[in-house]
Amino acid sequence: MGLKRRSLALIACVGACVAVIFTASSDCALAVDAPPPAAPPLSALPTAAPDILANPEYKALFDQMFANPTNLDVTFRFAEMATQLGDYEAAIGALERMLFFNPDLPRVKLELGVLYFKLGSYAMAQYYFKSAISGRNVPAEVRAKVDAFLAEIAKRLSPTKLAIYAYTGLRYQTNADAGPDGLLVHVLGFDAVLNSQFAKRSDWNWFYQTEVDYAYDLGDQRGDSIEATFVGYYADQFTLHQFDLGIAELQVGPRIPFSSNGSVKVYAIGNALSLGDAPYLFTAGAGISTRFFLPWGMIEPFVEYRHRDYDNSTFYPTASEQTGNLVDVAVNINSTIADVHWLSQLYYNHNRVVDETDFGFNSYDQLGIEFGVPIAVPWHGAPSGWIVTPRLGGSQTNYAVPDPIVDPNITRIDSEIHFGGTLEGPLYKNIGLKVQVQDSIQHSTLPNYDLRDFQISFGPTVRY
């Protein structure tokens, strides 16, 4: 009985740990050999935003350049400061003025390529990058930087986009079997002492997680694309092998833009899950999501339907009692307000088993929220690429009817809160390190489901 009942809590934890994330594809046109830009008129000078001109040093350089446009040193210093202040258009105007007077300046062409790249004008960026390395005696560091940018432009302009993420390592849990905090539980409505084999136990596991995101641009004027995401996960317990867990999920479907900052996606869902190295769960379903890009960030509401078919096994002989239908309604928010970047998800799950008459106690409604704040970690005053993300979340799960085996007079209601954080960053090229810490606390109307679990995981990551 203990394994069967606790499998519900275990699978709920799995759902919170393994997320499927979809990436947006860009509507880009391929332009390998852009024509050179026309030389600016002698009277043309870069303009600067009025608020930026309030900077005294910037205003002084602007006035000097206006008074003596042939002074390339002043022009270059102005372009540097304009770039630092984010006035890319003014910096581009200044650098292109320099090339008009002296076209043999590969470093200036490199900087122009970088600026156009930042503005998303990949054709012009490509032209200047290629021009920067077209002459003789090009510095090695310039050529290396150009090659990296050209590779990234080719990736962004390609109709096919592929991103792969892999994470492996070790995880320690103080409550790996989702056991209750105490041995005093309810059975048939009476107090009973739980057998010690079902008590809370700690364990280590080795895990592997991978995510593959694929998008293909159909090349029409609207910007339609096909997107697919595959998520795979496996955890091998050191001691409690009845909780060895494997997950494979695929989502695929078209994304259709309906405005310059919005799109809708319809997708099919299929997954399989093993528990104790035996088939446990198969899912088939569909979903629809809408993504909006707003001045303050991105918002993505979605609805998913899944039919979940559970299989009995040696460790879980009554798993099939959970077979039913699940509807997920959620909204993801990725925003930056007042220079603070934050992520959140608000979700509602409606789960109903097929046999409500006999197994209605496995039906539930769940409402929850997740919140995180990614913070860049500087090193010697410059960005290091490392991100620390404090996280906080919680949920309440209301079951439909009492479980007569546990207590026929009390309906189960679980309130869960978890907090922790993630530290992730690069070690060498596309290889990084990730450390996760989380403490979960669950209180229930039944002592059988009062539990706490602290876990820490760490290991290398690879991004492609």
φ, ψ (nearest 5 deg) of residue 49: -65, 140
Contact 167, 457 (CB under 8 A): no
Q: Which helix (H) or strand (E) holds 81?
A: helix 72-84
User: pLDDT tens, 257-288?
Assistant: 998 889 999 999 999 999 999 999 999 999 99
Q: If you average pLDDT over every residue of the chain, what do you get?
A: 86
Residue 71 binned pLDDT confidence (cut-offs 50, 70, 90): confident
Walk me through the domains of the chain, giving residue ranges and CATH numbers: 2-13+159-463 (2.40.160.40), 52-157 (1.25.40.10)
Contact 266, 288 (CB under 8 A): yes
Distance (Å, whole) CA 396 – CA 444? 10
Distance (Å, whole) CA 290 – CA 358? 38
For the whole model, what pTM was predicted?
Answer: 0.73
Structure tokens at 246: 């494997």
Distance (Å, whole) CA 447 – CA 445? 7
Contact 32, 75 (CB under 8 A): no
Contact 64, 74 (CB under 8 A): yes
Instruction: Please give the pLDDT value at position 13.
Output: 42
The pLDDT of 39-66, averaged and rounded, is 59
Number of residues that this document lists for the chain: 464
Instruction: Please give the pLDDT value at position 83.
Output: 82
Q: Where are the beta strands (DSSP E) in 94-201?
A: 160-173, 184-187, 190-193
Instruction: Please give the pLDDT value at position 30.
Output: 27
Cβ burial of 224 (10 Å; 0-12, 13-18, 19+) is middle
